[in-house]
Amino acid sequence: MKPPIDSLWRASSAERVDAPPLSGDVDVDLAVIGGGFTGCSAALEAARRGASVALLEAQEPGQGGSGCNVGLVNAGLWLKPDEIAATLGPQTGRALIDRLGQAPDRVFDIIAREGIACEATRNGTLHCAHSAKGMEDLQDRFRQGNAAGAPLQLLDASEARERTGSSAVHGALFDPRAGTVQPLAYCHGLARAAITAGARLHGQSPVTALRQTANGWELACRGHTVRAGALLLATNAYHEAIPGLAAPAFTAVHYGQFATAPMPDTLRDRILPGGEGCWDTALVMSSFRTDAAGRLVIGGMGNLSGPGGGIHTAWARRKLHQLFPQAADLPFEHGWSGRIAMTSDHVPKILLLGDSGLACFGYSGRGIGPGTVFGAAAAEALLSGDRSGLPLSVTQSHGETLPRLREGWYELGATMIHAASARI
């Protein structure tokens, strides 16, 4: 079965952005490489602070993981609070937990301020237990989250099934801080707002060389030169090799999604009537949500363009039947996948580049909130020279053990599990 490769988000985005290729030399305060959530958030923040900005994107803004995202605006990281504290230390860990706990506020405030048409729905998210064992995990997350100040609510099986419309869930953890967006429209809206604020955004403008100078940085792009006082690398899982710059280290994990035709009204009233975004506790995680038109969007790990694409497509059909048998006959109208930059400890990284550069990456599946926060904070730090406002301390280097081997292992594992699970 050949999967469709056609993004719902690209087909339905109400936001558009004009980012023409770089056509001449330019001098700016800040150069940004990468046009996803992090890069566009940084460009917007810098421009609003009165700085001159040039954002260079190898393809088009939102073309990478930001435009392939599930669209869940989560508070915090995938890790439990105690794990974050164990990795970073109690003080640094708690500061990051608090900062990212406020990330949805930041996202939805920007959406309201800039009038971004991205189907923003702030009705919370549901982390759903896929089994009794999964419910035990949610109970632990509930305890740790509330101890860290999060207003989480633990729902039993009956409550979770009423909220989702699925009898396949065994309970859920509700986070009222969170919500959903149309992710590509949100990214395009950030880009549009940055341009309106005075930033220059250039698509189809890959950086082909880079060097640090006495006054900052020089970037070669399309036969032209960009001179910048500071540099932000925001390519995340879509980094392309640039001579003169070491590539960020991460493991790329693919995540695929399928969108049905719009549900009839009789189903829309019964399946996720509150519009919460959901994901589950399974080892190979899956997600489900609706969009503004009432489509069901089912997601799971896997590369739809790779050898296992047909297996992932068949799994999605079975998963839809398992979760929502009443909607099992709805056709899939869209299917697409993107890459996630995963770090071994599941904590994002901020690398120091030379004297006046930073690289932010490794959100491990939590791109919207952290990307928005990290991008704006990086722009502020680079322009002011004060790094105290960054969500994390900068590090000189970061390495990953056998990332390409791990990438293949993740894809193989997802393919094998999808081939064997959720049988009708």
Q: What is the pLDDT of residue 210?
A: 96
Q: Per-residue pLDDT for 2 more than 60? A: no
The whole-number average pLDDT for the span 150-179 is 98
Question: In the structure, how many helices (H) and strands (E) does the chain have?
Answer: 13, 18
What residues contact 298, with CB distance under 8 A and at least 6 apart?
A: 257, 258, 259, 260, 286, 287, 288, 316, 319, 320, 323
pLDDT in tens, 301-347: 999 999 999 999 999 999 999 999 999 999 999 999 999 999 999 99
Tell me the residue type at 225: T
Q: What is the pLDDT of residue 1?
A: 42
How far, CA to CA in Å, does 13 sit from each of 42, 118, 119, 236, 376?
A: 22, 7, 9, 22, 23
What residues contact 268, with CB distance under 8 A and at least 6 apart?
A: 290, 294
The whole-number average pLDDT for the span 390-418 is 94
Neighbours of 132 (CB within 10 A): 10
Residue with tokens 């995938």: 78
Q: Per-residue pLDDT for 228 more than 90? A: yes
Q: What is the mean pLDDT of the chain?
A: 96
Q: How far apart (Å, rounded) are the C-alpha atoms in residues 312 and 13?
A: 25
pLDDT in tens, 128-161: 999 999 999 999 999 999 999 999 999 999 999 9
Q: How far apart (Å, rounded) are the C-alpha atoms in residues 395 and 205?
A: 28
Q: Are 178 and 124 in contact (CB under 8 A)?
A: yes
Q: Per-residue pLDDT for 424 more than 60? A: no
Q: What is the pLDDT of residue 167?
A: 97
DSSP-derived pairing of the beta strands 53-56 and 26-33: parallel
Q: Are 350 and 374 in contact (CB under 8 A)?
A: yes
Buried b / exposed e across 198-221, counting CB within 10 Å, b at 16+?
ebbbbbebbbbebebeeebbbbbb
Give the pair of three-digit tokens for residue 183: 């992710």
The whole-number average pLDDT for the span 272-299 is 96
Q: Tell me the CATH number of domain 8-420, given options 3.50.50.60, 3.20.20.210, 1.10.3720.10, 3.40.50.2020.
A: 3.50.50.60
Q: Are 61 and 336 in contact (CB under 8 A)?
A: no
Q: How far apart (Å, rounded) are the C-alpha atoms in residues 376 and 103?
A: 11
Confidence of residue 421 (pLDDT cuts 50, 70, 90): confident
DSSP-derived pairing of the beta strands 357-361 and 224-233: parallel
Q: Are 124 and 179 in contact (CB under 8 A)?
A: yes
- On the 0-12 / 13-18 / 19+ scale of CB atoms within 10 A, 224 is middle
The whole-number average pLDDT for the span 89-103 is 97
Confidence of residue 423 (pLDDT cuts 50, 70, 90): low
Q: Per-residue pLDDT for 422 more than 60? A: no
Q: Per-residue pLDDT for 12 more than 80? A: yes
Q: What is the pLDDT of residue 269?
A: 95
Q: Per-residue pLDDT for 4 more than 90? A: no
Neighbours of 291 (CB within 10 A): 20
Give the pair of three-digit tokens for residue 279: 């994901």
Q: Are 157 and 44 in contact (CB under 8 A)?
A: no
State the distance between the two ends of the chain, measured CA to CA, in whole angstroms.
Answer: 17
Q: Per-residue pLDDT for 3 more than 60? A: no
Residue with the bigger pLDDT between 32 and 2: it is 32
